[in-house]
Amino acid sequence: MKVRSVIAAAVLAAAVAAPAAAEEMSHAHIGHIMTGWKDTPDKVGLLPEAKAEAQVAADHIGFALSDPGNLDSIKLHAGHVLHAVDPSKIDQGPGDGYGLIKAAKGIVAHVGYAASSDGASDNVKTHAEHVSTSATDVVEWGSQVADLMQKIQDADSADSAAVMAENAQKLIGCIQNGCDADGDGNVTWQAGEGGLAQVEQHMGFMMAGEGMEG
């Protein structure tokens, strides 16, 4: 009887441990987005890294437009924006060298891993869709910004460069805060609207539903 009791206890422990381990895997990927990932500068989370690079881009597009008649200045700061968004396209700049686009792609990947982990909760799966949709918008907008910054380098007039910088500034605003694409007065996670603010919001909902501290 004693042996049977030990075996039964072991089976029960294994049954309890299996879903717990699966939940841990899902939660680990949530942590990679929010708190730490191995290849970011200072090993911060992918979302904090994306936000930091987006802020550098926002600062420098503002600097570019602070003197809209100065083509050289616009080009200088356009290069700085490009470095923050996609440092694979330019060697030096004020960004971290990781890049907004890479960080946003990492968010899409890891929230997908969290949702597809064995034992992932319905809460994770639901908000993963919202996060992924918004982060995918960030990748798209970031790519558009990078393209504009490269075109500015070839501009032959301050006027044309300033117009492109203004367009990029709007896109960077969408990257940071989302955009009301349908004009209904609300910014949601839906495709074409969600930005990093919506990523952060829905990661917060996800973590709260999992009992994780934000």
SS3 string, 133-198, reads HHHHHHHHHHHHHHHHHHHHHCCCCHHHHHHHHHHHHHHHHHHHHCCCCCCCCCCCCCCCCCCHHH
Q: How far is CA 177 from CA 51, 85, 116, in A?
A: 10, 16, 27
Reading the block at residue 99, the tokens are 């890049």
Report the candidate in 45, 204, 17, 202 with the shortest Cα–Cα distance to residue 118: 17
| pLDDT at position 6 over 70 | no
pLDDT digits (tens, 9 = 90+) for 10-44: 333 333 344 555 568 899 999 999 999 999 999 99
Q: How far is CA 191 from CA 29, 51, 84, 142, 198, in A?
A: 23, 19, 23, 15, 11
- For the chain, give the percent of residues with pLDDT over 90: 86
pLDDT digits (tens, 9 = 90+) for 109-126: 999 999 999 989 999 999
pLDDT digits (tens, 9 = 90+) for 193-204: 999 999 999 999
pLDDT digits (tens, 9 = 90+) for 137-172: 999 999 999 999 999 999 999 999 999 999 999 999
Reading the block at residue 168, the tokens are 């990029």
- For the chain, give the percent of residues with pLDDT over 70: 89
Q: Give the pLDDT score at 119.
A: 87
